[in-house]
Homo-oligomer: A and B are copies of this chain.
Amino acid sequence: MNTDQNKLPCSYFRDTKPLLLENGTTIDELTVAYESYGKLNQDKSNAIIICHALSGDQFLASKNPLTNKDGWWNRMVGSGKPIDTDKYFVICANVLGGCLGSTGPTSINPSTGEEYGLNFPVITISDMVNAQMRLIQYLEIDKLLSVIGGSMGGMQVLEWAASYPSSILSAIPIATSSRHTAQNIAFHELGRQAIMADPDWSGGNYIKVGTNPNKGLSIARMTAHVTYLSEASLTKKFGRRLQDKEEISFGFDADFQIESYLRHQGLTFVDRFDANSYLYITRAMDYFDLEKTHKKSLTEIFENTDIKFLIASFTGDWLYPPSENLMIVRALSAGGADVSFVNIESDKGHDAFLLEEPEFDDAMRGFINSISIEAKI
């Protein structure tokens, strides 16, 4: 990507109080780029944080200035929508380590005056949440009505609930896991290897050298993308249909629509994402293991919690399958938590949480309504 991340049209919170990271080092000048929708009410009780996924950003319900496309959760968040911005104040922050304005590997390292690159510290999901907590404190919000997120967003939700139980009323982790499995790590490792194998990655110094590992990042994105869709959805969407031709070409061009689609996904991703950010964020996800971080079992972490949970999974999701989500439900139930669980019948794969799934929308709307009634909003 070739965009100055500090010039994106959104809000910025800057904090010069060092942020202590899980690896023991600090971020001395923290920037959190964020978008907000709706209005914070007088007693600041209607705030909801939505945590984005690996390739997501803060532009969840507004036009993305890089792609000029609608926000990635436009369907879910807005006036009259399940997360109703007429009622709630919705915040979405670019994650720490990201490349859309929050401090990350493309930011200037205050101690050298140059981009961090690979000198950026390896961060964790808990570091991301701590950066968001700083933003919430800055906004003087004592208690969030809800913390919501899918995929990596769901990991942040779990971390929020584990680390700041008194700061949140409800939590909605969606299509996620309490720790990355070997298969999850494996797919991320493929992407990282593809990036680092690209000579234009230049040992991580591509900004300085003036190159960009487009090919590597593109392959990483293609790999991830295949894991976001189910076999059934790929078959329905593409099958063995050919792209702009009647017969196979007996060559290595994109004969099949699925090839052409994946190449397009890869090529467009490099315009909006930074390769080193991709390394850091996937690493944070791989390191995610709630029990290990908190040195307790899942049940113990959430024992007697007051937080109300809604957990949602999708039957066609093989990346963070229902079984992974159900594991969290069971642990919460065992600890006496107030937990609702919906397993949505869908053949859309992991991406289902971003797509048209009316049953899911209904569950979200119903749960958030009931929480807001309880909170007297």
Q: How many copies of this chain does one complex carry?
A: 2
Q: Which residues of B contact A150 (CB under 8 A)?
A: none
Contacts of A218 in B (CB 8 A): 193, 197
Which residues A143-197 have CB closer than 8 A to chain B? 179-183, 185-187, 189-190, 192-194, 196-197
**CA–CA, A185 to B257, complex, Å?**
10
Whether B222 and A182, one on each chain, are in contact in the complex, defined by CB atoms closer than 8 angstroms, is no
CB distance from A285 to the nearest CB of B (A): 12
Enumerate chain B residues within 8 angstroms of A189, measured Cβ to Cβ.
222, 254, 256, 258-259, 262-263
Q: Are B256 and A182 in contact (CB under 8 A)?
A: yes
Interface string of A273-311 (1 = CB under 8 A from B): 000000100010011010010000000000000000000
Q: Is the CB of B240 within 8 A of A215?
A: no
The reply to whether A187 and B318 form a contact with Cβ atoms under 8 Å apart is: no
Ordered by A's residue number, 12 sampled pairs between the chains whose C-beta atoms are within 8 Å are: A121-B250, A180-B240, A182-B256, A182-B258, A183-B231, A186-B262, A190-B262, A196-B252, A197-B198, A197-B215, A231-B318, A240-B292
Not counting A180-B240, A185-B240, A248-B287, a sample of 5 additional A-B residue pairs whose C-beta atoms are within 8 angstroms of each other reads: A181-B234, A189-B256, A189-B262, A192-B252, A223-B223
Binding site for B on A (CB under 8 A): 22-23, 121-122, 179-183, 185-187, 189-190, 192-194, 196-199, 215-216, 218-219, 222-223, 226, 229, 231, 234-235, 237-240, 248, 250-252, 254-259, 262-263, 266, 279, 283, 286-287, 289, 292, 318, 321
